[in-house]
Amino acid sequence: MTLLHKTAKPVGAGPESSGRSAAWKWWITGLLLLATMINYMDRVTLAGASVRVTSELGLSELQYGNLELAFGWAFAAGSLVFGFLADRLRVYYLYPAVLVGWSLMGIAAGWSHGFEGLLLCRTLLGFFEAGHWPCALKTTFALLNEKDRTMGNSVLQSGASLGAIITPQIMKLLMTEQPGSWRTTFIAVGAVGFLWVILWFFCLRPRDLEKLPAPDEKPAAKGATVGLGAILVSGRFWAVALLIMGAQTVWHIYRVWLMKFLATGRGYEERAALDFNSVYFVATDVGCLVAGAVSLWLIRRYSSSAHDARRTVYTGACMLTSLSVLLPWLDKGWPLLATLLLIGAGALALFPCYYSFVQELSPSHVGRLTGLLSLWVWGVTSPLHSVFGLLIDRTHSYDAGLLLAGLAPWLGVFAMKFLWRKDEVIPA
């Protein structure tokens, strides 16, 4: 008997059953983009102010890395908690609750004094921010059919870039020469989350996310539902687990350390580094949206399966991140910056593919699987920031770590080739 079965893909009540227009589901996907944007705005304030924070609070590079380690491990714990809650509670109410939680922690970080206070705030920020992803994926899974999900997940994920684009510009406006002015940014960015909660309740009603069978998808065969335990021991699950490990490594190493690499490693002034951070995340946003568009094009132009299209896009993104091998030979100047932009485009293009692979694993356990995979990947990759910081303290160079991070996504290519077996799927 095989471990996994192809089951029906339930979708939300949607426009047909709730009187919504055909475009309504895409407007809601845009609302999810805004949630991701706010999630990243609260997250990247520390990276944008990293030089000032470490200087004013007297932190070592290792301590700065430990702030990200605490955030990551708390994110792992929150992923498990909220992943299971998303499958058991109404996302309509859970989603805004976690968003309020992380917004409050973002504000509190601006009021913290000393390493210990900032560490506590960043830890709780990570815990609540983790709730965004299972709630968002449950929403896109309910609203969109299988062919549209990679594009929908691209829109959702592209909010990460928008948040990282906007935040440095806000920081340029709010951070003055006055010591401690970075705190205002933390408070202002944290307050934005409350506006999203108002929009969520204005745009949706509880029944909008109730699951009904999609008209173009077959119902599941009786007894086709597979238990969570069977999925967790399958090759497919571990293929996705290794894939996200590689994607997470390149994305977060560059997210956390890019500002320091530019300012300390290559001698850029703070304002120039902040400006490039915004441009970098424009490139990541373009890469993310192109990933979804190319996936749709491959399906429609060459009649590729949704799964095969995602694998092709993922491999192409790996080729871009592998340009990291050039970084040790590039000094300050446009070749360095152009290479970083291409790496960034590839880094975020990996994630829509990953989210869609998770949704392929099981229609019945999307929240749980998202939470468990996030627990795994944040638990495994978060210590890399401490290792990275310790390496910099000893070698005074960022190059080797950034090079290796760019190659990490290939782990996913090989994992999908050798662990994702088609014979684990029983046609409906």
User: pLDDT higher for 236 or 162?
Assistant: 236
> What is the distance between the alpha carbons of residues 266 and 38, in angstroms, rounded to a whole number?
29
Q: Which two tokens stand for residue 340?
A: 């970083």
CA angle 235, 236, 237 (to 5 degrees): 95
Q: What is the DSSP letter of 426?
A: -
19 burial (CB, 10 Å; 0-12 / 13-18 / 19+) is: exposed
Q: What's the sign of the alpha-carbon dihedral 218, 223, 229, 231?
A: negative
Q: Which two tokens stand for residue 43?
A: 């997250």
At what angle are helices 24-48 and 132-143 packed, to 10 degrees? 160
Strand partners, 211: 12
Phi, psi of 246 (to 5 degrees): -70, -45
Q: By the 8 A CB rule, do 372 and 80 touch?
A: yes
What are the extents of the domains in the chain? 10-424
> Which of 112-121, 126-135, 313-322, 363-372 shows the highest mean pLDDT?
313-322
pLDDT, residue 21, reads 67
How confident is the model over 52-94, as pLDDT tens digits? 888 888 888 888 888 988 998 898 899 889 988 988 889 999 9
For tokens 């829509």, the residue is 352
Q: What is the mean pLDDT of residues 316-340?
A: 96
H or E stretch including 213?
strand 211-213
Q: By the 8 A CB rule, do 69 and 189 touch?
A: no
List of residues 6+ apart from 420 with CB closer than 8 A: 235, 236, 239, 240
pLDDT, residue 177, reads 77
Q: By the 8 A CB rule, do 171 and 183 touch?
A: no
Nearest to 126 by CA among 226, 291, 256, 305: 256
For the domain 10-424, what is the CATH superfamily, name and number?
Answer: MFS general substrate transporter like domains (1.20.1250.20)
Residue percentage of the chain with pLDDT more than 70? 89
> What is the distance between the alpha carbons of residues 123 and 70, in angstroms, rounded to a whole number?
5
List of residues 6+ apart from 210 with CB closer than 8 A: 12, 13, 142
Q: Which two tokens stand for residue 350?
A: 């990996």
pLDDT, residue 343, reads 98
pLDDT band for position 5 (cuts 50, 70, 90): very low
User: pLDDT higher for 123 or 281?
Assistant: 123
How confident is the model over 9-64, as pLDDT tens digits? 444 444 444 556 668 888 888 999 999 999 989 988 888 888 888 888 888 888 88
